Structure 1
């Protein structure tokens, strides 16, 4: 590919190992990743989600400042400097978001600023999977070398992880997370509610859109269960133009959330609800990982 530093855009899927991917690339000597994993530039602009995103960054900044005060009181100079860098990154993202549609050049500068001789910069924002085909095509052409990655985790596991995350965020005082999670799952698979959750794991729609918008050689789609370990990690690094680094744990668990077990009935219902996703991925990519096959057998 080109002699320019590559830009990687990871568009998800939500709860499919993107935090583990971020940590891997952040620690890789040939990668330049900013301290904020999810920049949310394009989805904020396209969906006019400024109020929400500014609030998210305001809360993040306040948390960082609070942690910085603790580090200052403890005399932890390394942590103090690291938190200052994170605060500066948040402030810069907010400034870019304030530019709206005109902020693309500043967004690119932000990704590449300080890259030096490193080969890859990146933005890992699962929300980008919901962008239009037109926007994805524009992103693919915004720099000389833009490469897209999409991770597919077993649909039932991904959905249940997403549901647990929503339950934790939405839980009211005195409400049990386990009860909240099972209610949300029921609304998704049996009542056609919580309609913001299924599109994040609609592999068929997302992959078809990516295939139309992004050149084949610039797009990598892989199974979470395989791509972040062993030979899969080597293939990912080769696609990104970097040398294979350290191995990651067999089952990435960054931001795993509270651990709750699905009952057999709930797992069967979720698998039946997600049957079209299993069928599409199997038809498109062939043999499924063992974890997928185990859940698919419940359909």
Structure 2
């Protein structure tokens, strides 16, 4: 497949609770970008072997349409688009809910859009090399954005995110055993294993097509972070010019918190467990790259790595 036939410009591949919703929200409002109305497709992790929603695991339309719950979701999405006058989204949701899921269907979703286009599914950070190869075969020139957060903070935020669905939830409502089981679960561990994700994706995609961004930069310098991501994804000078012009004319909503978890203090024993669990990985990343990884190591363990690069870069390239 050559570049002219490749409809996907980028993928956001993770990590969960590391700023992917922020990235989706801001790219959807960035000139030159066309983002579908569904953030997480879960196309490449649709196999039930993955501990993820697997929302596309039933590939045949005829096997889905007899579900009342499924039909209600479809009708609500379509009617919402009608009431908002967003007719482009009507076509998207008709194809989303009433098509057979396969590679041709997936590619056809993006053929409806122009400019820089892609999707963001944090669970892609869990993919095996075989499924990453399927991504590459569909769009070998696509750029990959991997948002990272201190894995200790990410894991606790992930737990809080799960519990925010329970109205009035309090930490005393849950036993320590349940928290530990969550921390040790397969899905949680895979989502926090940044070294595995980097190794798997760089074994398939060229390193120069992968950009690592930091959740910390959303707090420290969100405008610059977004600009670096946009410039990495786009090779069109006109798109970059339009982005810079809009940034000058009005503030993009870069500082708005998106999909925030509930506030809960991490119990000391759980915090110590997380610190022990992720020590070696944080140290290895700090030794190799410095920057925010160094900051994580210093703030979490009170120690310095051997890498003296303490410059806090919003993004880093792996090559």
Range of TM-score over shorter length:
0.7 to 0.9
CA contact (8 A) 1:140 1:147 kept: no
**Structure 1 unpaired stretches of 5+:** 72-76
Mark the CA change 1:105 to 1:141 in structure 2 (over 3 Å): closer, same or farther.
same
Describe the SS at the equivalent of 2:292. coil
For 2:186, the equivalent position in structure 1 comes to 195
For 2:113, the equivalent position in structure 1 comes to 114
State yes or no: 1:42 paired with 2:69. Answer: no
Whole-angstrom CA distance in 1 between matches of 2:296 and 2:94? 41
Aligned residues: 278
Whole-angstrom CA distance in 1 between matches of 2:73 and 2:175? 26
Whole-angstrom CA distance in 1 between matches of 2:268 and 2:39? 35
Question: CA-to-partner distance for each residue in 1:166-223, whole Å, 9 max, x for gaps?
Answer: 2345x5x98646633855433345xx4x332121111111111111111122111222
TM superposition outliers: structure 1 runs of 4+ over 3 Å:
1-6, 45-49, 57-69, 77-80, 84-88, 173-184, 244-250, 263-266, 289-293
Determine which of 204, 210, 235 is the counterpart of 2:201: 210
**Structure 2 unpaired stretches of 5+:** 305-319
Most deviating of 136-145 and 288-297: 288-297
Superposition deviation, residue 158 in structure 1: 0.8
Alignment of 1:40-189 (within 5 A): 40-45=42-47, 47=49, 49=54, 50=57, 62=72, 65=75, 79-82=83-86, 86=89, 88-96=91-99, 98-99=100-101, 103-115=102-114, 118=115, 120-143=116-139, 145-169=141-165, 171=166, 176=170, 179-180=173-174, 183-189=177-183
- RMSD of aligned alpha carbons: 3.7
TM-score computed with the length of structure 2 as normaliser:
0.72
For 1:74, the equivalent position in structure 2 comes to none
Superposition deviation, residue 240 in structure 1: 0.6
Higher relative helix content: 1
Question: CA-to-partner distance for each residue in 1:117-137, whole Å, 9 max, x for gaps?
Answer: x2x101101111122112213
Most deviating of 262-271 and 122-131: 262-271
Determine which of 275, 284, 299 is the counterpart of 1:271: 275
Determine which of 211, 214, 235 is the counterpart of 2:228: 235
